[in-house]
Homo-oligomer: A and B are copies of this chain.
């Protein structure tokens, strides 16, 4: 679907049906939204709008990395929203010019819809403050604001793994930890290039329309800085938790080994002695002694106590 909004010099908002309609009127600026375009609609990018073939190629291809290119006639941006369901990337392409903005997205876009809805309900006097750069800011601000709940969700999961309120087995926790780390990596691959993109924007001399709204784009950049730090720090905390589990595990193995060794060390010799006097030799003088049995029991008891004290002194328990 291709949606078109045009604004005339009296700040009236006009909805158009086709790109050709734009040439006929006399408009201050306009916004074309390629919303899940069909293959025939995509052709308008080159045929009607005459964008550079490399920019169109970037629209259609999946490179998965935010970017900014300056062409003679316009600036071209790729940004990525993140789908909260599966953390997949939702590409948003922008062709930005003083007099127009073209947005392009193959999936439905919450962010674009919200801005579109807000704009079409607006009064002519409020529309005076709007334009292609304002629309570009509003959409990118929404894209970035929507990253936060995703990280908060992962932080909560991390806290749950750390505190383990449901007493889950260590193997389950390690598996969840691994998934959290994986998702943090995915977020980083979206957020860090977005951050670098905004840094380039803020330090660019090409984007004249951005200057008067600099404070606004800086605000988005601050959020991206914070997001990027949150991802890095949560990965570090996830590493800490894993190392802690491993430490405790290795410590526990040690404790279990000690129990095993103590048990074995006490009973192996005792069982051996019992085995001795269970032998059937005809000539075993001790067997005939009246108190032989009690002497052996006594010796066994002494051995057990000595062993016990020896391990105790070695600090094994």
Write the A251-273 contact mask toward B (1 if CB under 8 angstroms, else 0): 11110111111011111111110
User: Provided the pairs A178-B244, A248-B171 are in contact, do residues A189 and B276 lie with their beta carbons within 8 angstroms?
Assistant: no
In the complex, chain B residues whose CB is within 8 Å of the CB of A52:
215
User: Provided the pairs A263-B265, A282-B287, A296-B281 are in contact, do residues A181 and B226 lie with their beta carbons within 8 angstroms?
Assistant: no
In the complex, chain B residues whose CB is within 8 Å of the CB of A289:
281, 283
Q: Name the distance in Å between A273's Cβ and chain B's nearest Cβ.
A: 8
Q: Name the distance in Å between A73's Cβ and chain B's nearest Cβ.
A: 12
A249 pairs with B248, CB closer than 8 A:
no
- Which one of B215, B264, B269 lies within 8 Å of A71 (CB-CB)? B215
In the complex, chain B residues whose CB is within 8 Å of the CB of A248:
171, 174-175
Q: Which of A104-112, A198-206, A229-237 lies at the binding interface?
A: A229-237
- Which one of B185, B252, B261, B269 lies within 8 Å of A259 (CB-CB)? B261
In the complex, chain B residues whose CB is within 8 Å of the CB of A284:
280, 293
Contacts A65-B229, A253-B257 given; 15 further ones with Cβ under 8 A? A63-B222, A174-B248, A174-B251, A182-B237, A185-B233, A246-B250, A250-B250, A263-B265, A268-B268, A268-B271, A271-B271, A275-B275, A276-B297, A278-B279, A281-B292
Q: What is A's interface to B at a CB cutoff of 8 Å?
A: 52, 54, 57-58, 63-65, 67, 69, 71, 170-171, 174-175, 178, 181-182, 185, 189, 215-216, 218-219, 222-223, 225-226, 229, 233, 236-237, 240, 242-254, 256-261, 263-272, 274-284, 286-293, 296-297, 316
29 contacts between A and B (CB under 8 A): A57-B219, A64-B226, A65-B222, A67-B222, A69-B218, A71-B215, A170-B251, A171-B251, A171-B252, A174-B248, A185-B236, A185-B237, A242-B243, A247-B249, A249-B250, A253-B253, A254-B256, A256-B316, A260-B265, A264-B264, A270-B272, A271-B272, A272-B274, A279-B280, A280-B284, A281-B293, A283-B289, A283-B293, A284-B293
